[in-house]
Structure 1
């Protein structure tokens, strides 16, 4: 509970989480897909939570929406670019080549750290996150699968993202 009369201007999870359902509905109307809207909302949350700028956010809701809309625009541009690219471009794209051995080792180390962070979570929290990110299930499908409410699934996923982000920063510094 806030004791100050000044509104919270930080991107704290509680403030940002408050707008989750509203943001997903807003994005669903624009993208025509709830699944795509949830993906963009998750990415927007990550961007806001991973923000390193120490300056406080004056209007967290507007900042979250602007971040989400920027992600929608980026997604649309990538889609248009991929449609216009000839298949030969994919052969030249570095992402399709195997990484250098040192880069491969760094990826393995990061993956091990991520697994360690996930192991620290409660089973429902970890399962919600993995079912969403690895299996691509919707929040409702996860809720049905785990026998919990949809809103609890949403909270678990946001909490898992926050926890993993914090732990990865701690271990990598």
Structure 2
């Protein structure tokens, strides 16, 4: 099918089915704005279909696509609601414990910094490359010109030192 034939088929499909689809979605979901957005999106997606002529029941295909778009929209809205709710609870938790937690976090951070400063240079370097810069042990080994097992030992020493500092 040529592009002009596909375009005229799409125009015909739009004029024949857009009002009915809009009414169907509005009645079913009780939301005109959603129905209008979904109708437009469905036709936009349909216009991107390369093989419109291969679809036997274009009306059925269009309606199924629109219903799937609504389901996707509802699913997305639920995820958004859960995220916003979790952020609200998280913010409330932080605000309720903020002063005490901030003081404790500062104290812990100070201990970690002192612990890192006392580490041998190679352990500190390996730790910073891995935890701060996100390098893998292999990349660190190449950068430091040591074996991977040496990097593992450096990291083990650094992590033990940090753990002990936080426990004190």
Instruction: Provide the TM-score with structure 2 as the length reference.
Output: 0.46
Structure possessing the higher radius of gyration over alpha carbons:
2
Q: Of Structure 1 and Structure 2, which has the larger fraction of its residues in helix?
A: 2
- Greater length-normalized contact order (CA 8 Å, ≥ 6 residues apart): 1
Instruction: Provide the TM-score with structure 1 as the length reference.
Output: 0.44
